[in-house]
């Protein structure tokens, strides 16, 4: 899987898709995602997915087994399972890989009460029970574990990300 170095990501909140594009805006791959149940919005505590221009600030989880559970961006040593899910039925699981986003637009998604990085907005793997193609997260962009691992290998820190409705 060779991906051009100059790629960028387009996340469409209405379509619930994440599209990886080359420098000429040609589609490399499209994935179904699950963004915030409460729609698009930038404010801290809103539980909405922030819109606008972002970039990948950090890639976390390289080489971790699929289903690795993360808390505060650190692997817990657990692998997601039905038993683990039953022990915390309300958990919005962060699994497999994390692409931590940083806003690029001061006053919209960077600094103050609208800072995507301070809100810990990620593209991350989700529980097998999370429905892709339909809003359901608390603000992050959720993907299936196999899809987030695939995307993780295709992008670098600094990759541009546009989130829009």
CATH classification of the domain holding 29: 2.40.440.10
3-state secondary structure 79-140: ECCHHHHHHCCCCCCCEEEEEEEEECCECCCECHHHCCCCCCCEEEECCCCCCCCCCCECCC
Q: How many domains does the chain have?
A: 1
Structural domain includes residue 13:
yes
Within a domain: 1: no
- Pairing relationship of beta strands 17-21 and 52-60 according to DSSP bridges: unpaired
Residue 3 counted as domain residue:
no
pTM for the structure as a whole: 0.95
Is 64 a residue whose pLDDT tops 90?
yes
pLDDT digits (tens, 9 = 90+) for 67-119: 999 999 999 999 999 999 999 988 889 999 999 999 999 999 999 999 999 99
Q: Is residue 97 part of a domain?
A: yes
In a domain, 160, yes or no: yes
In a domain, residue 143? The reply is yes
32 lies in some domain: yes
CB of 67 closer than 8 Å to CB of 145: yes
For residue 83, give its domain range.
Answer: 8-164
What does the pLDDT read at residue 91? 87
2 within domain boundaries: no
């Amino acid at each position: 899987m060779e991906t051009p170095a100059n790629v960028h990501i387009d996340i469409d909140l209405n379509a619930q898709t994440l599209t990886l594009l080359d420098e000429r805006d040609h589609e490399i791959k499209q994935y179904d995602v699950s963004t915030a149940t409460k729609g698009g919005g930038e404010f801290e505590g809103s539980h909405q997915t922030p819109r606008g221009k972002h970039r990948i600030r950090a890639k976390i989880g390289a080489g971790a087994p699929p289903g690795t559970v993360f808390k505060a961006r650190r692997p817990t040593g657990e692998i997601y399972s039905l038993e683990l899910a039953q022990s915390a039925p309300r958990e919005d699981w962060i699994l497999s890989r994390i692409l931590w986003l940083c806003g690029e637009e001061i006053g919209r998604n960077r600094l103050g009460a609208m800072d995507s990085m301070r809100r810990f907005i990620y593209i991350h793997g989700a529980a097998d029970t999370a429905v892709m193609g339909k809003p359901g997260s608390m603000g992050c962009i959720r993907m299936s574990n196999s899809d987030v691992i695939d995307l993780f290998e295709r992008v670098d820190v600094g990759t541009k990300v546009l989130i829009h409705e």
